[in-house]
Structure 1
């Protein structure tokens, strides 16, 4: 897989862990108690999602493109925006 970065939204509510979601990869999320663990889990979650992906991988939009998406603009108001690269799929890492 070519190296791609996906824009992520990092959410943190008081008294809860960190949650990370990807506007361009719906349904892929990561949750952990610390930011460092959540970022690591997000890389792994993307890698696993893409390992068994059927069809073309989603093309990540640029931040400029996302900023023109009203849903993204609304979602990011309560989040921190980050770029995350998928972890190498387990099948490739073993080679």
Structure 2
């Protein structure tokens, strides 16, 4: 099963917890708590990938945490925030429809 690295930003009790995916620009989830944000992340991932599939666009490859640490932009986010691995829906593994 493929997993995407998610960056988790918890700005404290007066702010929502944000989750975003370095490999999937514009894909994000949030919640009032860390647990809620992590519960919402797989759905956000599924919807984002589903939109790509509907538009016959390729799904970006999921990089490993080590690969992301070698990317200067992602490395800064990994250093500043927590990460989690979020499972991709099975449809992410299929080639784009023609």
TM band (smaller chain): 0.7 to 0.9
TM-score (norm 2): 0.80
RMSD, matched Cα: 1.6
Q: Which digits, 9 at most, give the CA deviation of each residue in 1:5-52, with x for residues without a partner? A: 000100011221210000000100001101111011110001011112
Q: Which residue in 1 is equivalent to 2:45?
A: 46
Q: Which residue in 1 is equivalent to 2:67?
A: 65
Check the 8 A contact 2:69/2:78 in 1, yes or no: no
Q: Which residue in 2 is equivalent to 1:30?
A: 29
Q: Which runs of 5+ in 2 are unaligned?
A: 92-98
Give the drift of 1:80: 0.2
Q: Which residue in 1 is equivalent to 2:10?
A: 12
Q: Secondary structure at the match of 2:63?
A: coil
Give the drift of 1:77: 2.5
Instruction: Give 4+ residue runs of structure 1 displaced > 2 Å after superposition.
Output: 86-89
Q: Which has the higher helix share?
A: 2
Change (3 A) 1:9 1:49: same
* Count of aligned pairs: 87
Q: Which runs of 5+ in 1 are unaligned?
A: 90-95
TM-score (norm 1): 0.82
